[in-house]
């Protein structure tokens, strides 16, 4: 009944939803590029902020807290507009003040969008990463120091690999949010998937159909990303069980050397220069 | 020769170490005993700079290190002379037993991977954990983890090995294997400071025993002198209490 009405009245064009997909998918790479580049900035800056807050570095710590507060306290769309109008203004100021020669009109909106979304992402990632870093047992950090490792070495070799398993679900979540957040990039004059959808809709006023097509694509992308995250999570898991070293069977002599030697030593446990009072 | 001079550590108003002076000969195994809260662990942690004392310095083989004031370079230099075995093992969770032992060799001593692997395998054999090289800490019992931790510390060839209650986090049945390992390395001539509540073990393995109380060294001598003929009342009381604990709850 419903289908009949829809097909007879031409109220909803099913076919168009499918036919538009290729046209929209052409812009999927831009959407993904935006998301990936922003995520890279978000991870790098987020890690920096997290370490600053973890290590309680004076002054920087207050700046980091202030930065996170501002970014989280303002809407993403406002930040995008500020980047889009602000960065060219900044360049113009530098041209006037320092005599540099930036071509303001050529500065790509894409870069503005990546900046804005990357820094936006960093504020949220900072908290996720900080929580993950502080979940790593202090004892291991002490052990790393006791071995003589510097903090950056310990961070890279011991703390981060362990924190990553804790941070992954949270970071994955925010990456999925970011993919969909790229649909705001039109504010910086970037034509990504959603913007292209609007253009298509403008041609034939079939806005409803085009948004349904977009919804399908975003959903599909999200499902794929979820799969990838699951896969990474599985890869990071430590094996449940490991067989005892096969080398024991290969070199039975070597493996037993210790026990034999030790036994002899314990049997004749006399150290003339060091009289144990037994 | 290791000399510790005037080591003082306060936590707020609580003086934990009150001017410790200590000379340790090469190959000495110094057992540190005393009531809880008298700064036994803090003493070791200050030597490894996991805590920063208010005053004090340490001389290792003629090189003087200030414990109270040290920049990053000095901190690392001192830590590279010492090895630490922790109460809670503190193995790197995401590394296998072998990787745990190799870690310092590769990242700190910058040894090539192959050489580090060989040395690490040697250390694992020394503590009898070679067969478990590929296992992660979560696969190992507490005693096994502690033996790997000992191998990790030994691999760095420390001039002074610090053992901070190495058996107190272990199930009673696992204590034996760790004590055996420690006794084994003690007999190989490593210079060690050992904080432990296993009095009988300290008595057997140490050639010198120190009794700490109130942040001061109250007794210092051979195990026989300290355990059998303590001079201070505090030590006498302490040993009396330990013996009381060992008595049956009641007799008929």
User: How many helices (H) and strands (E) in chain B?
Assistant: 9, 10
By mean pLDDT, which of A64-73, A119-128, B125-134, B232-241 is the weakest? B232-241
pLDDT of B71 > 50? The answer is yes
Residues A2-61: tens digit of each pLDDT: 777 777 777 888 888 889 999 999 999 999 999 999 999 999 999 999 999 998 899 999
Residue B70 has what pLDDT? Answer: 87
Residue B212 has what pLDDT? Answer: 92
pLDDT of A218 > 90? The answer is yes
Cβ–Cβ gap A276/B126 under 8 Å: no
Residue A108: partners with Cβ closer than 8 Å, 6 or more residues away: none
Q: How many CA atoms lie within 13 A of B177 on its CB side?
A: 18
Q: Where are the beta strands (DSSP E) in B1-62?
A: 2-11, 14-24, 29-33, 55-60
Between CA B220 and CA B226, with CA B224 as vertex, the angle to 5 degrees is 35
* Of the options 3.90.1200.10, 3.40.50.300, 1.10.3720.10, 3.40.50.800, the CATH number for the domain spanning A16-249: 1.10.3720.10
Residues of B in contact with A258 (CB under 8 A): 125-126, 128, 130
Residue A261 has what pLDDT? Answer: 46
Between CA B178 and CA B187, with CA B183 as vertex, the angle to 5 degrees is 150
pLDDT of A277 > 70? The answer is no
Residues B183-233: tens digit of each pLDDT: 999 888 899 999 998 888 899 889 999 999 988 999 999 999 998 888 899
Taking the alpha carbons of B205, B209, B214, B215 in that order, is the dihedral positive or negative? negative
Average pLDDT of the residues of chain A: 86
Residues of B in contact with A140 (CB under 8 A): 90-93
Residue A274 — very low, low, confident or very high, per pLDDT cuts 50/70/90?
A: very low
Strand partners, B20: B7
Cβ–Cβ gap B131/A241 under 8 Å: no
Cβ–Cβ gap B136/A242 under 8 Å: yes
CB-based contact, A278 to chain B, within 8 Å: yes
Share of chain A above pLDDT 90, in %: 67
Cβ–Cβ gap B134/A241 under 8 Å: no
Residue A182 has what pLDDT? Answer: 93
Q: Mind spelling out the 3-state secondary structure of A27-79?
A: CHHHHHHHHHHHHHHHHHHHHHHHHHHHCCCCCHHHHHHHHHHHHHCCCHHHH
Q: To the nearest 10°, the Cα dihedral for A148, A154, A156, A160?
A: 160
Between positions 85 and 114 of B, the ones with CB within 8 A of A are 86, 88-95, 103-104, 107-108
Residues B77-114: tens digit of each pLDDT: 999 999 999 999 999 999 999 999 999 999 999 999 99
Residue A234: partners with Cβ closer than 8 Å, 6 or more residues away: none
> Which residue of chain B has the CA closest to A263?
B184
Q: Which fold has domain B1-81+161-252?
A: Rossmann fold (3.40.50)
CB-based contact, A162 to chain B, within 8 Å: yes
Residue B38 — very low, low, confident or very high, per pLDDT cuts 50/70/90?
A: confident
Residues of chain B with CATH 3.40.50.300: 1-81+161-252
CB-based contact, A237 to chain B, within 8 Å: no
Cβ–Cβ gap B76/A271 under 8 Å: no
Residue A13 has what pLDDT? Answer: 82
Residues of A in contact with B48 (CB under 8 A): 145-146
Residues A135-194: tens digit of each pLDDT: 999 999 999 999 999 999 999 999 999 999 999 999 999 999 999 999 999 899 999 999
Q: Which of A165, A258, A273 sits opposite B126 (nearest CB)?
A: A258
Share of chain A above pLDDT 70, in %: 87
pLDDT of A100 > 80? The answer is yes
A167/B162 Cα distance (integer angstroms): 34
Q: How far is B216 from chain A (nearest CA, A)?
A: 25
Q: Which of B79, B134, B223 sits opposite A146 (nearest CB)?
A: B79
Residue A278 has what pLDDT? Answer: 38
Residue A144 has what pLDDT? Answer: 94
Q: How many CA atoms lie within 13 A of B96 on its CB side?
A: 20
Domain boundaries, chain A: 16-249
**What are the respective helix, strand and coil percentages of chain B, to the nearest 5?**
40, 25, 35
pLDDT of A266 > 50? The answer is no
Q: To the nearest 10°, the Cα dihedral for B209, B212, B216, B219?
A: -40
Residue B247 — very low, low, confident or very high, per pLDDT cuts 50/70/90?
A: low
Helices (H), chain B: 40-47, 72-79, 97-107, 113-126, 142-155, 172-186, 199-205, 223, 233-246
Determine the residue among B117, B187, B221 to mutate to test chain A binding: the one whose Cβ has the most chain A Cβ atoms within 10 Å: B187
Question: What single DSSP character describes residue B227?
Answer: I
Cβ–Cβ gap B50/A145 under 8 Å: yes
Residue B1 has what pLDDT? Answer: 86
Q: Which of B107, B131, B223 sits opposite A245 (nearest CB)?
A: B131
């Amino acid at each position: 009944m419903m289908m009949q009405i829809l097909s007879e009245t031409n109220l909803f064009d099913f076919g168009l939803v499918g036919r538009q997909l290729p046209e929209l998918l052409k812009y999927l790479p831009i959407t993904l590029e935006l998301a990936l580049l922003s995520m890279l900035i978000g991870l790098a800056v987020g890690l920096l902020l997290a370490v600053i807050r973890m290590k309680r570095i004076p002054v920087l710590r207050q700046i980091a807290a202030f930065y996170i507060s501002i970014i989280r306290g303002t809407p993403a769309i406002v930040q995008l507009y500020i980047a889009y109008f602000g960065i060219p203004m900044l360049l113009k100021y530098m041209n006037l003040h320092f005599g540099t020669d930036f071509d303001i009109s050529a500065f790509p909106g894409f870069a503005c969008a990546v900046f804005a979304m990357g820094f936006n992402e960093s504020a949220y990632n900072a908290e996720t990463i900080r929580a993950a870093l502080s979940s790593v047992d202090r004892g291991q950090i002490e052990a790393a120091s006791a071995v003589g490792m510097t903090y950056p070495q310990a961070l890279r070799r011991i703390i981060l690999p362990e924190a990553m398993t804790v941070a992954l679900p949270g970071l994955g979540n925010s990456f999925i949010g970011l993919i969909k957040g790229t649909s705001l990039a039109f504010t910086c004059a970037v034509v990504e998937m959603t913007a292209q959808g609007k253009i298509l809709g403008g041609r034939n006023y079939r806005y409803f159909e085009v948004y349904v097509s977009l919804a399908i694509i975003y959903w599909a992308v999200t499902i794929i990303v979820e799969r990838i995250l699951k896969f990474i999570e599985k890869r990071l898991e430590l094996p449940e069980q490991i067989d005892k070293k096969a080398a024991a069977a290969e070199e039975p002599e070597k493996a037993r050397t210790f026990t034999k030697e030790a036994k002899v030593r314990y049997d004749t446990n006399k150290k003339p220069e060091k009289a144990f009072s037994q | 020769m290791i000399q510790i001079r005037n080591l003082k550590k306060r936590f707020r108003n609580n003086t934990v170490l009150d001017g410790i002076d200590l000379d340790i000969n090469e190959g000495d195994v110094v057992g540190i005993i005393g009531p809880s809260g008298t700064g036994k662990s803090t003493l070791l942690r200050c030597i490894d700079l996991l805590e920063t004392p208010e005053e004090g310095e340490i001389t290792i083989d003629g090189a003087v290190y200030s414990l109270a004031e040290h920049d990053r370079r000095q901190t690392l230099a001192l830590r590279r002379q010492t090895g630490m075995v922790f109460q809670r093992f503190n193995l790197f969770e995401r590394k296998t037993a072998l990787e745990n032992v190799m870690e310092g060799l590769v990242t700190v001593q910058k040894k090539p991977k192959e050489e580090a692997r060989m040395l690490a395998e040697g250390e694992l054999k020394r503590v009898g954990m070679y067969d478990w090289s590929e296992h992660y800490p979560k696969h190992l019992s507490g005693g096994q983890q502690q033996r790997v931790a000992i191998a990790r510390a030994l691999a760095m060839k420390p001039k002074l090995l610090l053992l901070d209650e190495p058996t107190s986090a272990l199930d009673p049945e696992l204590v034996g294997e760790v004590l055996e390992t420690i006794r084994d390395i003690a007999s190989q001539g490593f210079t060690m400071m050992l904080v432990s509540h296993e009095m009988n073990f300290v008595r057997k393995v140490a050639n010198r025993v120190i009794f700490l109380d109130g942040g001061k060294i109250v007794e210092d001598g051979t195990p026989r002198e300290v355990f059998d003929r303590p001079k201070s009342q505090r030590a006498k009381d302490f040993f009396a209490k330990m013996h009381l604990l060992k008595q049956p709850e009641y007799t008929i």
